[in-house]
Structure formats: C-alpha cells, structure tokens
Amino acid sequence: SSHARIGPVAISRQTRSEAIAMLLDCMAARTKINVAFANAHGLLLAMDDPEFAETLTRCHVLNDGIGARIGARVLTGEGFAENLNGTDFVPALLNAAPAGTRVYLLGARPDVVARAADAFALSHPHVTICGWRDGYFQDGDRADIVAAINAAKADILLVALGNPKQELLMNALRAELDPPVVLGVGALFDFTAG
C-alpha cells in the first residue's frame, strides 16, 4: 500500500476500513504488528529523536490529525483520505473485531486504566477485556508484564504511555509479546475513562 513520507516517518495512506481489515487479517494469521499514530507532536519528535524515528520505521504508522494532513499535503501534494486518530480508531477496530476477541490494556494511572477497561467492556460487550495494568512501572517489571499479557492470551494489546515511551516499549517487547496486534494509543484510556 502507498505511504506519505514526512521527514523520517512513512505514514500509511490506508482508509480507516482498510487499516482495520489489515489488522484483523494480522490477528487471524497471528502476524505480529505494532501500530503507531503519527500526530504533529510525534512527527516533530521523530525529526529530533533518531531513536524514535528508527522505532517508527518498525511500526505501521497511521495518520492522526491536522498536523499529519498538512505535512502530507505540503510535502507530497496530497493529504489523507481520513483522519485515523486512536480515539475513534480503536472503538471502530473493536466494533469490527470478531466476538471473543481478547483485549489487554497497558498504561495510564491505575484508577484510569481500570475505569477504561470497564468502559470498553460496556461499550463492546462482544469482546473480552482479558486484563489491564497501569503504565507506571519500572524496567524490572517488564518481564512480569509480558508474562501477564501472554498468559491472558490477548489478541489486541493497547499501550497508553504517550510518545515516544509507548512505541519504544512496544518495539523493545515485540518479539516476546504474543498478541499479534499492538497499538500505541496515547491518552485514549483517559478519554475512555471519562
């Protein structure tokens, strides 16, 4: 599929439904993929931070917001078909996911992630929220976190630690994590918790 390049970041030109179909295919085939949403803040960060830029080259990057659209428009002459911000995209992905799809939430404050888990369970009763864990942990806790996510048999892992923390963690743990579809979702749990 085609991409728009903004500095070091190649952003997919998929529509929302194309991106969702691709991720559900990955889930069914157990093909591992990390998804990042590129907004203006993340794109500027990638230009200044080679490690984050390199990390994004190993993610499937979707466009989030007006900054990405203007950047693509200026640099390639063409914007994006749709704005794929995580706040709308994740509920749409869960809506399209087959019944029994197992979803794990990692990130945000303990009370926030617990409330977000409850909210997703209510709004998407056909999926199973198979676990959650807050985003304030030490590097030494990583092995336990991976073990818990794998034991929960998650199909989709949502990681909400902000940029660039979430993408760096997703990449560092990609080989060990069993869930095929991992998305970096920024402040989604705060929005979802209400």
Q: How far is the CB of 136 from ligand UDP (least distance, A)?
A: 5
* DSSP structural state of residue 174: T
Among 109, 118, 145, 168, binds ligand UDP (CB under 6 A): 109
Q: Which of residues 113-152 bind ligand UDP (CB under 6 A)?
A: 135-136
Nearer to ligand UDP (CB atom), residue 127 or residue 169: 169
189 touches ligand UDP by CB under 6 A? yes
Nearer to ligand UDP (CB atom), residue 94 or residue 160: 160
Q: Are 148 and 131 in contact (CB under 8 A)?
A: yes
Instruction: Give me the 55-94 binding string for ligand UDP, x by CB under 6 A, dash otherwise.
Output: ----------------------------------------
Q: How far is the CB of 38 from ligand UDP (least distance, A)?
A: 12
**21, 89, 138 from 17: Cα distances, Å:** 6, 10, 37
Rounded Cα distance, 106 and 16, in Å = 23
Q: Are 121 and 113 in contact (CB under 8 A)?
A: no
Q: Are 120 and 127 in contact (CB under 8 A)?
A: yes
Rounded Cα distance, 130 and 36, in Å = 22
- Cα torsion angle, 13, 15, 16, 19, sign: negative
Q: Which of residues 156-185 bind ligand UDP (CB under 6 A)?
A: 160-163, 165
Nearer to ligand UDP (CB atom), residue 26 or residue 112: 112
Rounded Cα distance, 148 and 35, in Å = 21
Q: Which residues bind ligand UDP (CB under 6 A)?
A: 107-109, 135-136, 160-163, 165, 186-187, 189-190
